[in-house]
Chain A
Amino acid sequence: MERTLSRYLRLATWGLPKKKKLEIQQELLGNIEILSLEYQVQGMNKTEALQAALLDFGKPERVCAGMTKVYIMPIILRNLGLAALLSSLGIGILSSSTAQIIASVTGRLPINTCNDGQTDAVEIGKAWIPCEGNYGVWIHLPSLKASLEPLGVKVTTNTKNPWLETTFNFPDAKKPLVIKHKDNQNLPVQNEQVKVSPGYVRAIDFFEKLNSIGLPITLSGWNTTKIGVGNTKFQLNSTNNTVSSEMLYFSALKNIFWRDLETTKSSDSLYTVRNWEQHTLSGAAYPHQISVRNVNPENILVIVSREKMLMQNNDLVTMRVYRISRPNSAREIQFYSRSDTINFLKKDFSALKPDEVINTSEIIVKKFTNRLDKNSFEIIPAKDIRILTK
């Protein structure tokens, strides 16, 4: 009996700071004892009474999860803030998950990929470089090849024009993944970059092609995202740099919009995926979202084509929830954005002249909000939420 109780208390306070752990154990113990005594008064023996009391208290993991949110999350948030600050100062922090790296992919930023002053960076040791705008995330193909080949992926390139066409054959895939530079012609800057720096592929193109090779795709983690392509697993970071992979999540999540806005493909709606890609929330909010009704938001499961993708819920960020639905539709999408995004949305864009250039993001927001107004989409800011639970 003692063991049952101490195990319960231990599990209920697992991972908490020692002082807090002892305090909460003491509190729970006192209350469990009282409830247990009450059951004994009703005729149960000690063992039965304790079991009944513990049953009433529910799973210890649930208590633990609740206490973790109260006592651990704020610490993590503070540390994340510190890490971001150090990172912005150029001080790298060694990833704690380095030991789990299956294959690191390194790369460099093609010249002029970004338009925000980070232009001439080279060899900065990141596989994925987030820049302003949605298209500044590239992967270095030679690095990818070097990482994937030891995992059994056969990678071939055109010998006459290396990297202008690259083929990846993943084990058990129904068809190869072929990257051609001519696939990336929808932005002038990309064409320029391809001419200057062949050997790069836009992250979103790479991932979308992954979806078509007939293997289940999994993503887990945010800054040190592990990608699973069938049984092949690799990680998007180098040993001393974490990397953000919002484009991967975005690429997968747009399928939700097709499904939940009740369109089967983008051409069925004015609100094409293209539109979604362009509004500013795609960069700022999607990575931290997303819960579609009827989907368990604790470990968000989203459907990527016919495959499953697991996105770890980011419950470290205080967010707002928006609900979007078509008029008269029973279905809706909820998505979550950080408060800074909300403030951005609150700006008065009505004063903007049609062609006035403030910056790309603001114009995109203006277009987005106009679209919402004109087409009767509902956008309902709800209460701040801190965490998603069942």
Chain B
Amino acid sequence: MPDNHLLKGNLDLILLSILEQSEMYGLEITKEVQAQSNDYFKFSLGSLYPALHRLEQAGQISGEFRTPPRGGSPVKYYQLTENGKKALSNKRAEFEAFNSAIRNLWNAR
């Protein structure tokens, strides 16, 4: 598990990245993130939903209630908006620049 601050600082990047692949509902997002990161990221569901709503308020994702394939109560599927795609692209570039700078520091030893 990454440091909490590290995770929090990159939460938007993680969520936007996973939603870039396809639309998903909250529970599905946590599972996919966990699976694709080989259990490195494990979200608390309690903090996931506010984060999704924050991104939705910011216009980076949009949500729509639909009945899931297995039936039952409808769930809210989230997908990236155009703004979200731009935000993801910016965040990805920022992250890569940061990552690269840190690696340079290590390589300079």
Tell me whether B44 and A58 are in contact (CB under 8 A).
yes
Confirm or deny: A103 has a beta carbon within 8 angstroms of a beta carbon on chain B: no
- Given A59-B46, A62-B46: A34 and B75 interface contact (C-beta under 8 Å): yes
The total of chain B residues at the interface (CB under 8 A) is 23
Q: List which B20-45 residues lie within 8 A (CB) of chain A.
A: 25-27, 44-45
Describe A's contact surface by its main secondary structure.
Answer: helix
Confirm or deny: B104 has a beta carbon within 8 angstroms of a beta carbon on chain A: no
A26–B9 Cα distance when bound, in Å, is 28
A43–B12 Cα distance when bound, in Å, is 35
Q: Which of B49, B68, B70 contacts A67 (CB 8 A)?
A: B49
Contacting residues, chain B, for A71 (C-beta < 8 A) = 53, 57
Contacting residues, chain B, for A34 (C-beta < 8 A) = 27, 68, 70, 72, 75
Contact mask A217-228 → B, CB, 8 Å, 1/0? 000000000000
- Given A31-B25, A58-B45, A62-B47: A67 and B72 interface contact (C-beta under 8 Å): no
Confirm or deny: A28 has a beta carbon within 8 angstroms of a beta carbon on chain B: yes
A34–B72 Cα distance when bound, in Å, is 8
| Chain A, residue nearest B75 (CB) | A30
Within the complex, the shortest CB–CB distance from B56 to chain A, in Å, comes to 9
Confirm or deny: B50 has a beta carbon within 8 angstroms of a beta carbon on chain A: yes
Confirm or deny: A381 has a beta carbon within 8 angstroms of a beta carbon on chain B: no
Within the complex, the shortest CB–CB distance from B10 to chain A, in Å, comes to 11
Contacting residues, chain A, for B51 (C-beta < 8 A) = 66
- For B25, B27, B70, the residue with the greatest tally of chain A CB atoms inside 10 Å of its CB is B27
Tell me whether A31 and B65 are in contact (CB under 8 A).
no
Confirm or deny: B92 has a beta carbon within 8 angstroms of a beta carbon on chain A: no
Confirm or deny: A35 has a beta carbon within 8 angstroms of a beta carbon on chain B: yes
Within the complex, the shortest CB–CB distance from A38 to chain B, in Å, comes to 9
Confirm or deny: A56 has a beta carbon within 8 angstroms of a beta carbon on chain B: yes
Confirm or deny: A315 has a beta carbon within 8 angstroms of a beta carbon on chain B: no
Confirm or deny: A362 has a beta carbon within 8 angstroms of a beta carbon on chain B: no
Within the complex, the shortest CB–CB distance from A240 to chain B, in Å, comes to 35
Confirm or deny: A37 has a beta carbon within 8 angstroms of a beta carbon on chain B: yes
| Chain A, residue nearest B46 (CB) | A58
Confirm or deny: A78 has a beta carbon within 8 angstroms of a beta carbon on chain B: no
Tell me whether B73 and A33 are in contact (CB under 8 A).
yes
Confirm or deny: A29 has a beta carbon within 8 angstroms of a beta carbon on chain B: yes
A66–B26 Cα distance when bound, in Å, is 15
Within the complex, the shortest CB–CB distance from B88 to chain A, in Å, comes to 18
Contacting residues, chain B, for A364 (C-beta < 8 A) = none
Contact mask A8-40 → B, CB, 8 Å, 1/0? 000000000000000010111111011101000
Tell me whether B9 and A30 are in contact (CB under 8 A).
no
The 7 residue pairs across chains A and B that have the minimum distance between CB atoms = A66-B50, A58-B46, A30-B75, A62-B46, A30-B73, A27-B76, A31-B27
Contact mask A64-92 → B, CB, 8 Å, 1/0? 01110111000000000000000000000
Tell me whether B49 and A30 are in contact (CB under 8 A).
no
Contacting residues, chain A, for B59 (C-beta < 8 A) = none
Tell me whether B49 and A69 are in contact (CB under 8 A).
no
Confirm or deny: A153 has a beta carbon within 8 angstroms of a beta carbon on chain B: no
A298–B68 Cα distance when bound, in Å, is 38
Q: List which B59-83 residues lie within 8 A (CB) of chain A.
A: 63, 65, 68, 70, 72-76
26 contacts between A and B (CB under 8 A): A24-B53, A27-B26, A27-B63, A29-B73, A30-B68, A30-B72, A30-B73, A30-B74, A30-B75, A30-B76, A31-B27, A34-B68, A34-B72, A57-B46, A58-B46, A58-B47, A59-B46, A62-B44, A66-B50, A67-B49, A67-B50, A67-B53, A70-B50, A70-B53, A71-B53, A71-B57
Contacting residues, chain B, for A69 (C-beta < 8 A) = 50, 54
A162–B54 Cα distance when bound, in Å, is 58
Within the complex, the shortest CB–CB distance from B74 to chain A, in Å, comes to 6
Q: List which A137-181 residues lie within 8 A (CB) of chain B.
A: none
Within the complex, the shortest CB–CB distance from A195 to chain B, in Å, comes to 54
Tell me whether A35 and B27 are in contact (CB under 8 A).
yes
Contacting residues, chain B, for A346 (C-beta < 8 A) = none
A57–B30 Cα distance when bound, in Å, is 11
Tell me whether B50 and A63 are in contact (CB under 8 A).
yes
- Given A34-B75, A66-B46: A26 and B57 interface contact (C-beta under 8 Å): no
Contacting residues, chain A, for B27 (C-beta < 8 A) = 31, 34-35
A69–B46 Cα distance when bound, in Å, is 13
